[in-house]
Amino acid sequence: MELVVDKSSKISGVVKAPPSKSYTHRGVIIASLADGNSKLNDPLYSEDTIASLETCEAFGSTIQNLKDQWVVYGTGGNLKTPQNVIDVKNSGTTLRLMTSLAGLAPNYSVFTGDSSLRTRPMQYLLDALGHLGVAAVSSRGNGRPPIIVKGGLKGGKASIPGNVSSQFISSILIAGALAEETVELQVTGEFISEPYVDMTRDVMEKFGVKADYNSSERIFTVKPHKYQPAEYTVEGDYSSASYLIGAAAVLDGELTIKNLFKDSKQGDKLILDIISQMGADVEIKDEEVIVKGNGEIKGINIDLRNAPDLLPTVSALGALAQGTTKITGVEHARFKETDRISTCAQELTKLGVSVKEKNDGMVIEGGVKSGVVESHGDHRLVMAFSLIGLRAGVRIKNAGVHDVSFPKYSAIMNKLGCNMLMK
């Protein structure tokens, strides 16, 4: 499918931010481990989160999918071995979080996914699990999926580099509560995307388990504990809302986005600071954000180490800004659905943008023209480059992948006054 985005001049209205993909993943996975029945209110229904739901069911949970609510009948930590190989499709979050949990099931579990997912690095997680009693290997011996996991999570001490994926840490913390012994996990090197681990600890605590963190020694500690059932409401997603926020910044008008919490632990809340620095007017309330733009933004220097998913959005905004935008701190964005530094640079160049690709980011000179770009099968590239289309006009190939995180994206944007057509 191709998304055709024509120039728009104004944006206005009130819209509810999509539910958080990250919190939905964590909510359904942790609820599936609880000793009882939980209710997950306002979950995101998308390809990635359904991958987590179906994987939880494969390990023994029963999940009733109602309108705006998932009722999760938890396993109490007594996971069963899946009957078949688990295909998580493109969901790296599902793969990484569930790999450690597979260590709680008897016998062997096997994970695979699409061609993009099979490029994701996993070896650091596999090595750490080995120290905790779990035999986990890459079937091809290259540290990437397919992954084979043999049950046997005992606990103990392990370490893991903090500069590849915070999901490795979250994975061990979630499973660690159900290990036979206390789990102590030390983070070595640079600790990137720490807010995502904070989100994990937040959801764990909602279900009755505390993961302690000694910041001076950089050690997480999780003692054996049963997850308790809970009723949990998923907050709005700043990652997905970044496209709505970005559109309001580059067009003339005012947009109110509900279900974005002022005290959210999401690292991508940084988008509000970014567009404010670029020149938009931002008003932050307890549970909503109001953005006013006049169609003009300026380039900035920004470190995205704790918000790597904002890279495509900020790169598109940089192309539309006056002056230079320098993005740093996101070498780990090369290990997402695509190498996002490389793919963003490639596609911006097609639109006449001057881009210098760096090891950990890029330097973008504002100035863009209309053209045709490719999504590379990455949902965030589709929505980020649609922002360029609002000002210059653009066609995005293979655009249907935005369903991974933001179903009905183009329909919602059209209701706000934008011109998008999916063909």
CATH value at residue 300: 3.65.10.10
Show Cβ contacts of residue 273 under 8 Å, excluding neighbours closer than 6 positions. Answer: none
pLDDT exceeds cutoff 90 at 67: no
> Does residue 404 surpass a pLDDT of 90?
no
Domain containing residue 327: 2-18+236-422
Distances (CA, A) of 158 to 168, 195, 210, 220, 364: 12, 21, 18, 10, 40
Last residue of a domain, one of 233, 267, 297: 233
User: Does residue 376 sit in helix, strand or coil?
Assistant: coil
Domain final residue pick, 173, 206, 233: 233
Q: CB of 363 within 8 A of CB of 326?
A: yes
The average confidence (pLDDT) of the chain is 96
Supply 67's token pair. Answer: 């309108």
Q: Check whether residue 362 and residue 241 sit in a common domain.
A: yes
Position 335 scores a pLDDT of 85
Q: 279 and 169, same structural domain? A: no
Q: How confident is the model at residue 207 (pLDDT cuts 50, 70, 90)?
A: very high
Does the pLDDT at position 259 exceed 90? yes
Residues 40-64: what's their mean pLDDT? Answer: 97
- CB distance 138 to 123 below 8 Å: yes
Half-sphere exposure of 423 (CA within 13 A, CB side): 8
End-to-end Cα spacing for the chain: 6
Q: List the single range of 139-143, 156-160, 175-179, 332-336 with lowest mean pLDDT.
A: 332-336
The answer on 168 and 136 residing in a single domain is: yes
Query: How are beta strands 394-397 and 371-374 bridged, if at all?
Result: parallel
Confidence of residue 407 (pLDDT cuts 50, 70, 90): confident
pLDDT tens track for 181-201: 999 999 999 998 999 999 999
Q: Which pLDDT score, from 0 to 100, does residue 284 have? A: 97
The answer on pLDDT for 153 being more than 90 is: yes
User: For residue 273, what pLDDT band results from cuts at 50, 70 and 90?
Assistant: very high
* Residues 359 and 260 reside in one and the same domain: yes
Do 196 and 265 lie in one domain? The reply is: no
> Which 3 state secondary structure label does DSSP give 338?
coil
> Are 164 and 241 found together in one domain?
no
Number of domains in the chain: 2
Q: Is residue 192 located within the same domain as residue 250?
A: no
Residues 228 and 246 in one domain: no
Same-domain status, 56 and 133: yes
Once rounded to an integer, what is the mean pLDDT over residues 164-170?
95
Most distant CA pair in the chain, distance: 60
* Domain co-membership, 164 together with 266: no
Between 379-392 and 340-350, two packed helices, what is the crossing angle to 10 degrees?
A: 30
In this predicted model, what pLDDT tens digit does every residue of 17-45 receive, in sequence order? Answer: 999 999 999 999 999 999 999 999 999 99
Residues 163 and 251 occupy one common structural domain:
no
Active site residues: 309
Kindly tell me if the per-residue pLDDT of 71 is higher than 90. yes
Report how far residue 173's alpha carbon sits from residue 60's, in angstroms, rounded to the nearest whole number. 20
18 upstream amide cis, omega within 30 of 0: no
pLDDT per residue over 305-348, tens digit each? Answer: 999 999 999 999 999 999 999 999 999 999 888 999 999 999 99
- C-alpha of 379 from chain center: 11
Counting DSSP H helices and E strands in the chain, the numbers are 12, 24
Average pLDDT over every residue of 362-378: 96
Amino acid occupying residue 6: D
pLDDT at 423: 87
- Where does a domain end: 199, 217, 233? 233
Check: CB of residue 204 under 8 Å from CB of residue 212: no
295/403 same-domain check:
yes
Instruction: Give pLDDT, residue 103.
Output: 98
Four-point Cα dihedral 78, 79, 81, 83, nearest 10 = 120
The residue assigned the tokens 């609002």 is: 390
* pLDDT of 164 strictly over 90: no
Question: CB-based contacts of 215: which residues, under 8 Å, 6+ apart?
Answer: none
Structural contact between residues 93 and 55, judged by C-beta atoms closer than 8 angstroms: no
Q: Is the pTM of this model over 0.85?
A: yes
Q: Which three-class secondary structure state does DSSP give residue 318?
A: helix
Cβ neighbors of 396 (< 8 A, separation 6 or more) are 2, 3, 5, 372, 373, 374, 375, 381, 382, 385, 386, 389
Q: Residue 405 has what pLDDT?
A: 86
